[in-house]
Chains A and B, each alone.
Chain A
Amino acid sequence: MTRRFSTSRRSILAGLGVAAAGISFGGLEGCAAKYPIGKNGEEQRLNLYNWDTYTGKTTLADFKAATGVEVHMSLFATNDELFSKLRAGNPGFDIIVPSNEFVTRLKISNLLEPLDLAKIPNRVNLLPSFQNPAFDPGRHYSMPYTWLVLGIGYRKSKIDGVPDSWKWLMDSDRYKGRIGLFSEADDLMGLAAKYLGHSAHNVPPEVIEQIARMYIKQKPNIKIFHNDEGQDLLLSGDIDIVMEYNGDIAQVMVEDPDLDFVVPREGSIINSDCLCIPKGAPRPDNAHQFINFVLDAKNGAEIYNTIKYPTPNAAALALMPKEYRDNPAIFPPADRMARCEYAQFEGMKRSQFYDETLTRIFAS
């Protein structure tokens, strides 16, 4: 049995979240020990709400050594979980790590605190392409932590050649019974639109209809719609070809050289996970200190060495070993990346429409 229950950004927590949605919170502040007051007048404490296995091995200890601030990390498994928790009022988090389309959702719902850019001088370390993204012009609400691209993870010995088209997942019975797809409605619709030659955004209803028919036809060939534990299923041999994020596959490629990752030629969807300060954060100055700390070259390198996700930080990238920088699973080729689009929040009505379409695909 090679089943592992860790080292995935989301997997086991997604399972736990299913079992215990919402028990994790209640007394964030209640049972707090007394913390000394720092120079900035805030308690020497910081509540970080993060994905699983998404910091470096020594990051939090290093931060405490540098600033005296003790970081308490809680974990979430999906952006939706993060959103539904904050929607009911900030339970005491100082920093959250939403993906870019959720930065948009949180921002328009007035749940984010604007950043004081003067307190984050290390932002100059960011690659130019991350300085001024469309979802947060001028970076007034979010600082990039990682970026991720959806693609195909596969077992080389079981797949013929490089499966560099979404066709092998969505529209072919060649790998019948060995296929795993993401169970996220937005990603399934957007990626299928890319496969059919459309943009991932503002997909017309008749194309959605076509996509629904395609998935319904493909369903008998699909072994599982997974909740972001695709890399574990691939590693354990349950499936041989899977829709997953590059970082998740890069993590298991270290353990099993028979695995590989490709961004299909039709292009894909990119996300960027960002550090944000939620409205009502009790210790905003500590939060700014933490963001600035993470954007430092050396501290960043420590993180990316562990988590194997691509970094938006040019200075940290320069410190990274060659195995990371030249890893095509972590940094897919530029011509493929050029065909990718950032995930985008397209309004409440559309998420509900997509969700209903997915329910229809599952139920039929």
Chain B
Amino acid sequence: MHVSTVERSRPRQPLTRRQRLSRADVRYSPYLYVAPFFVLFALVGLFPLLYTFVVSLNDWNLLTGPGEWVGLANFQRELTDPLFWNSIFNTFSIFLLSSIPQLIAAVAIAAVLDTNLRAKSFWRLSIIVPYVVTPVAVALIFSNVFGEKYGLVNNALQYFGADPIMWKTETLPSHLAIASMVNWRWTGYNALILLAAMQAVPRDLYESAAIDGAGAVRRFRSITIPSIRPTMIFVIITATIGGLQIFTEPKLFNASSSVPGGPQRQYQTTVLYLWDLAFNRQQFGRAAAVAWILFLLIVAIGLINFQISRTISTSATKKSRQTKRKAVA
């Protein structure tokens, strides 16, 4: 605006110059607007990822700096290291223990919230209370709840005459405890996402199905589930990306262990293993190799998820179209 008044006061070729400026404005401004993201991503996202690969090809030490070029030896070393495989096992075990029950619970909760409830917003609010508790606080709280001596859970078990469970020293119990932290914080959040998807289903679909004699269970299986499938896949993909990089919960689960991830690495996840390698043992080259393997693993699982979801969603639309047709008939 300001520019235009200045231009107007100058009689010499006012229009062409303004037009030229304006054309440049139209042509280049969009690039300027999207540039911050791409510049930052290149610097702190893409470059570090690619450079991780370079680091992984060297015998790189934090203190001595870039060392000898060792080719793929770091990869070879990690892929034959039982501690690496232990971390992969722990990561997947905790991931499965948290994602599968969580998804089932979230779908069930969403279905309950999708009914014609009284005080709807109250119930919706109540299930996301855990989401506002920070992961560090969750880890501190649950490492007490699952304390071996005086923990809330073991106290309750002993009250009912059961033996206390060694949550922090046995593998499966520790995985369950860590998975329960993740489940506690995220189930309500994911339930709301799925609820949003359920509410997007046209209600008349349910009504015509009900008129056709489909019971509640049948309606849920044949209408609700196929309709929310894309959202379920979205939830699964985000859970995978986050879950395979789990760090905070196992890191803070047992403060008295000097090895991150438990005295016998019972719940040392891969990112925790990577952390230990890089920042406690200064083995940057090996840690970078671990980072790359995990990166490839996550991307591969993401692609498989994507492929499966594409196949499913095409067959799902076919199915729901059939349901619709049936409803019309």
**Chains A and B are bound partners:** no
Chain A interface (Cβ < 8 Å from any Cβ of B): none
Chain B interface (Cβ < 8 Å from any Cβ of A): none
